[in-house]
Structure 1
Amino acid sequence: MGPKTNVIMVVAGLLAAMFIGALDATVVATATPHIITDLHGQNLFSWVFAVYTLTTCVATPIFGKLADLFGRKAVFAVGIGLFVLGSILCGAAQSMPELIWFRALQGFGAGALAPVCFTIIGDLFSGKQRGKMMGIFSSVWSVAGLLGPLIGGYFVDQVSWRWIFYINVPIGAAALLLVVLFLHQPIERRAKKIDYLGALTFTVSFSTLLYALLSGGAEHSWNSPLIVGLFMASAVFLMLFLWIEKHADEPMIPLSIFRIRVLNVTNISGFLTFSITTGLTVYTPIWIQSVLGNSATSSGLIVMPMSLAWPLAANIAGRLMYRVGAKTSIVFGSALVVAGSVWLIALQLNSPYVFWIGILILIGLGMGFVATPSTVVVQSVVGWEQRGVANASSMLFRSLGQTVGIAVFGTIYNQHVTSLSSRSELAAGLHAVFLLLFGIAVANMLAVMLLPKRRNMMAQQQVGG
């Protein structure tokens, strides 16, 4: 087969891998009642989601560095292999603790999917083609968000909840075969030094941080000795990690990449904007159901406008960013997110349902114009040997934004809401969350203004390749 055919096959495999990784984030929620009925352990069920988030966050930078050290193909194979094995074990779980442990394994494998897939695309394509491909790959998340509830509902109703995990096996196997067989990249034969201490201290630091964020305010109060101790432990191990990285021969995360202004700004932006989308995904259905009194189905469907607008804008941004400049696209997208958040805080108790559609379309379009150019420029300001690490840092900050956002929004919401039957209390709690979303959107707007001018940014992209 010719080089062009090989690239098409690899892209198909990467899309399949990204799809099952993104699908898993939405499809499991649909099966929640049936899983609890079968396995019991309702008080543990939140950890089915939390442990997946935790291990994915921890694994992302580790796999990013390994992809730079040992080549993309080998690390992709290990990641998707762990994800598929975790999926098989999740489908076969006989108790809630078993499911939680198997979800941890699945999440660890998922930590390789997005950063390594984006890194391979960055290797295979350059210039305008890279922007177009990033737009297509960003769309996978939105498509999975739309299809997840439908696929999950079908398996739960017609077959068994276990098939929401088993469906990953044939798709994952196809993705693995396509990438392994058709991806041809030179592997540099040299002694590799793995930063074991860096990986260990990073894992401890971020595991304790994420556990504290996911448990604080719910299972334990924020000022409890356990949560305070976890935050302190996280800070200590983070300082250790930074010291190790400064002196390591082959650091897991080279601190030198944080001297690159473009990377720092896009990471901050990713942290802020992905916390906004997570807040919207969680709290929009509460307003639709509890304040407006609409059905659960209509509240589930309300996220669809954002899921459709995001990939549309991502594809437009991927095609236009080399004409108008990456900064122009990111600033324009950030302005749309601010506009959507202004509309959000202007909502009243009697505001019509259609207002929500407008808000979510605005923010979805804004996210598409921000996320795709951000991913492209992150890849373009570093060389091949650091592309995996740069991608992984970007994914890590986005995941942290989601996790920190959930913790902070939940704390603010719970301070206002003491009774779920009080419509005015619910609205007050939600308005407090929406005000914070507006503040985050403004902070993001200010951050992206610090990106270099178009000419400087494009020059960096050309050097980066």
Structure 2
Amino acid sequence: MSGKNKETKRTLVLIALILSMFIAAIEGTIVATAMPNIVSDLGGFSMYSWVFSSFLLMQAVTTMIYGKLSDLFGRKPIFLIGVIIFLVGSILCGLADTMTLLIIFRVIQGIGAGAIQPIVTTIVGDMYTIKERSKIQGYLASVWGISSVIGPLLGGIIVNYVHWAWIFWMNIPLGIIGMIGVYLFFHEEVDTTKKSIDYLGAGLFFIAISALIIVFVQAGAVWSWTSFETLSLLGLFFIAISYFVYHEYRTKSPMMPLELWQNKLIVISNLATLFSGMIILGLSSFLPTYVQGVMEHSAIVAGFTLSTLSIGWPIAATIAGHLVIKIGFRPTAIMGGTALLIGTFLFVFLDPLKGPVYAGISSFIVGIGMGLTSTTFIVAIQSTVPWEKRGVATSLNMFMRIIGSAVGAAFLGGILNQQLRHYFIDRNEDQSVANTEILLDEARREQLSPSLLELIQNGLTSSLHTVYLVMFGIGILTFILTLLFPKLTVESKK
């Protein structure tokens, strides 16, 4: 089996893949910009977070399933099915007239998005040799960086001059072009014998991960961690994941071949990816709040401190493509781990006096670390597994980043809330003043007395300092994992 058929027009296919990757990548940032307008039209502010969470949930639970299906039936049909589902969801999202319907349609969109990133990355792994692949994966990483930067700007333009529905409908022409390019110009040889699909494994995985992510989204915010809902879903997760592992050991064609977890390179890459996903969410969730609420800068400045991460990531990802060829995978991974260590260390010393430039530089260094590690990991993984396992191995690594993001949001958010609560209790203050959202509204912030403003700002600064200390601890773990990365040279792989 091979995706390197001579008839494949690689440049045209790559353009189609980049367009497809772009529409999936830009969804998060462009929707965030439009949400105030969407809420004003549809209402349902209490369901605000589920517009994002529903998309993330479906993307997480389907990524692994699509990866396995692409190994069984080929990349092309699964990619096309995923894009079609994504585009149907996009059309429906633009037509939604209630928040409930928008969330349902975002679920459909997320089910389609689960196929796009892993299979685009896998097709690149099929089409290109390892030396070429290292560079091309860097280009794909650039798509995510670029979308993170232009997403908010494009979303603002669409909302101001057209209608928020077009943030979803703009996906249609780009998605169709991407589908046509892959359908016409990508050719692969696939074993046509009858395939065995692990329906039970896929179902158990779907149930387990859905339960886990719902807990991460709801617990600590809507439910307490000891509530009946939280404990019931955690129980469901442990039962489903235990039966899933038991079943995968026994079935002939498992959805997730468990021998992947016996490969040291894959295990270390996936664990480091999980931790780096936690770091990214720690920054993107809390840094803008700190810059706006404590440093008292505008949302634009807050966005700048975070966008530097999106600039550093693709630059480093492209450089990583050259480094793995010149110096090897392990040194490149260690360089990335070092950058993550330095970047998270700098955040430990963040204070209002250092200003947004310091925060922006620290974010940029974290982005460098993300770019160096993510490209190195994915190319190394694809180089150590055969064609028939490349899809599921690639998807597993991307799944670990999604889970890392979900865990990071819940874990670090829980630490922040706990530290804020203790801060005000220790000072015998009413915890109702712990509403840090008031700091983000300049008009409301100016109405606070100087003493109360200082109290809340100091509370947020102190609490976030603890969050950044924990984040630095995660950075240390990630760095240690890169030191354990096994030696693998480009020359050792064809």
The 5 A counterparts of 1:12-27 are 12-27=15-30
CA distance in structure 1 between the aligned counterparts of 2:462 and 2:235, rounded to whole angstroms: 33
What is the match of residue 229 of structure 1? 232
Residue 81, structure 1, aligned to residue 115, structure 2: no
2:373 pairs with 370, 375, 390, which one?
Answer: 370
What is the match of residue 335 of structure 2? 332
**TM-score when normalising by structure 2:** 0.91
1:162 pairs with 161, 165, 181, which one?
Answer: 165
Unpaired runs of at least 5, structure 1: none
The 5 A counterparts of 1:49-68 are 49-68=52-71
CA distance in structure 2 between the aligned counterparts of 1:102 and 1:263, rounded to whole angstroms: 34
Q: Which one-letter code corresponds to 1:197 in the other structure?
A: L
Deviations, residues 220-269 of structure 1 (Å, cap 9, x unaligned): 00111110111111010001111111111211111111111100000001
Unpaired runs of at least 5, structure 2: 421-430, 437-452
The question of whether the paired residues in 2 share the 8 Å contact of 1:58 and 1:207 is answered with yes
Q: Which one-letter code corresponds to 2:255 in the other structure?
A: M
What is the match of residue 439 of structure 1? 473
Q: Which one-letter code corresponds to 2:316 in the other structure?
A: A
The question of whether the paired residues in 2 share the 8 Å contact of 1:325 and 1:458 is answered with no
What is the match of residue 47 of structure 2? 44
CA distance in structure 1 between the aligned counterparts of 2:156 and 2:240, rounded to whole angstroms: 42
1:429 pairs with 442, 459, 463, which one?
Answer: 463
Distance 1:432 1:458, change over 3 A: farther
Q: Percent identity?
A: 36
What is the match of residue 149 of structure 1? 152
Bigger CA drift: 275-284 or 113-122? 275-284
**TM-score when normalising by structure 1:** 0.97
Q: Which one-letter code corresponds to 1:431 in the other structure?
A: H
2:189 pairs with 178, 186, 189, which one?
Answer: 186
1:245 pairs with 229, 243, 248, which one?
Answer: 248
CA distance in structure 2 between the aligned counterparts of 1:5 and 1:55, rounded to whole angstroms: 31
The 5 A counterparts of 1:105-184 are 105-184=108-187
Instruction: Classify the secondary structure of the residue corresponding to 1:253.
Output: coil
CA distance in structure 1 between the aligned counterparts of 2:44 and 2:57, rounded to whole angstroms: 20
Q: Which one-letter code corresponds to 1:453 in the other structure?
A: K
CA distance in structure 2 between the aligned counterparts of 1:16 and 1:239, rounded to whole angstroms: 39
The question of whether the paired residues in 1 share the 8 Å contact of 2:220 and 2:414 is answered with yes
Bigger CA drift: 7-16 or 411-420? 411-420
Residue 31, structure 1, aligned to residue 34, structure 2: yes
The offset of 1:453, in angstroms, is 2.4
CA distance in structure 2 between the aligned counterparts of 1:358 and 1:206, rounded to whole angstroms: 35
Residue 219, structure 1, aligned to residue 222, structure 2: yes
CA distance in structure 1 between the aligned counterparts of 2:70 and 2:284, rounded to whole angstroms: 32
The offset of 1:315, in angstroms, is 0.5
CA distance in structure 2 between the aligned counterparts of 1:145 and 1:458, rounded to whole angstroms: 35
CA distance in structure 1 between the aligned counterparts of 2:138 and 2:74, rounded to whole angstroms: 24
Bigger CA drift: 318-327 or 165-174? 318-327
Larger radius of gyration: 2
CA distance in structure 2 between the aligned counterparts of 1:224 and 1:257, rounded to whole angstroms: 36
What is the match of residue 450 of structure 2? none
Instruction: Classify the secondary structure of the residue corresponding to 1:350.
Output: helix
Between Structure 1 and Structure 2, how many residues are aligned? 459
What is the match of residue 8 of structure 1? 11
Bigger CA drift: 351-360 or 335-344? 351-360
Q: What is the RMSD computed on CA atoms of the aligned residues?
A: 1.3
CA distance in structure 2 between the aligned counterparts of 1:447 and 1:333, rounded to whole angstroms: 11
